[in-house]
Amino acid sequence: MKASTIAYLFLMGILFALGLLLLQQTVFGRLHVLDGPKRLNASDDSLPTELTLRHRAWGEQTVEDGTEVQRITTLLKQMKTVTNGTCPAGTATFTGTLRFLNGTTWTFSLGESMTLNGKCVAQRPSTQTTTLKARFLNAYHEPEQLARQFAEGEVVTVYAAGRSRSLTAREREDVKRRLAQAEPMTDYEEVGQALDASQGQPRILKLQRYKNEQNTRANLMNITVYETLFSVQYMDDDNGNTFYLKGQLLPTGKEADR
């Protein structure tokens, strides 16, 4: 083989090696390798997988809407950076558990104050705790959940035409059945039209979870009953949120006289 050919092949080999080195630097050099469990945990902390809530009056509920879980997680992460001394003693309205993909678990309690992972993050109500409470209560809007809560209420009173009375056991069973069959209403134009079409004064159902806690807001729920729809409000929702469901919750006219 001629010397010129050998030199040419040698030069091409060098150029090929340089090309491979350049490719490694420009492409593979951009890859970042997680070098330990801490970095892996840090990336997975942003992936919540399950949120379980426990309300002292209304029971346990799992938040299944992934978007809502992420919103609540964002609020909790903002509060996680706050250290606010020692929370005053008091009864928690909500307790809960938030689980992440990497196995990390956060726990929290929320009442007049709030603790997160055992640390006090709010000694008194704030804009953030009010928002969290409202979002937590949003998880308790499903008809089946409302029916269960209604069945567990120790006192149910109906207010109509300036008078009030307790519902009978038969009436309560009927309302429970109707609650479970109701349909949530999210179209507020439809809600407005139904309210405009309603005749007469609405009736009010006041649900008290525990008989011995008459003046505790977290223990009370009001249901305003119209002809073809009804609204529900948890009295401890500081934002005063009301949600509507379609259905005839109480009998009307001749049906009510039976």
Q: Are 121 and 83 in contact (CB under 8 A)?
A: yes
What pLDDT shows up at residue 213?
Answer: 85
Q: Which CATH number fits domain 143-257: 3.30.1490, 3.30.410, 1.10.8, 2.40.400?
A: 3.30.1490
Question: Any idea where the domains of the chain sit in the sequence?
Answer: 40-138, 143-257
40-138 and 143-257: identical CATH topology: yes
Q: 43 falls in which pLDDT band (50, 70, 90)? A: very low
**Regarding the domain with residue range 40-138, which homologous superfamily does it belong to in the CATH classification?**
Uncharacterised protein PF16224, DUF4883 (3.30.1490.410)
Q: How far apart are CA 182 and CA 188, in angstroms?
A: 16
Query: Tokens representing 208?
Result: 């008290």
Q: Is the dihedral of CA 246, 252, 254, 258 positive or negative?
A: positive
Question: In this predicted model, what pLDDT tens digit does every residue of 78-108 receive, in sequence order?
Answer: 888 777 788 888 889 999 999 999 999 999 9
- Asked whether the predicted pLDDT for residue 2 surpasses 80, the reply is no
Q: Are 120 and 114 in contact (CB under 8 A)?
A: yes
Q: How far apart are CA 38 and CA 47, in angstroms?
A: 15
Query: Tokens representing 257?
Result: 């006289």
Question: In this predicted model, what pLDDT tens digit does every residue of 151-162 receive, in sequence order?
Answer: 999 999 999 989
In degrees, to the nearest 5, what angle opens at C-alpha 221 toward C-alphas 106 and 143?
75
Q: Is the dihedral of CA 212, 234, 245, 198 positive or negative?
A: positive
Q: What's the whole-model pTM score?
A: 0.74
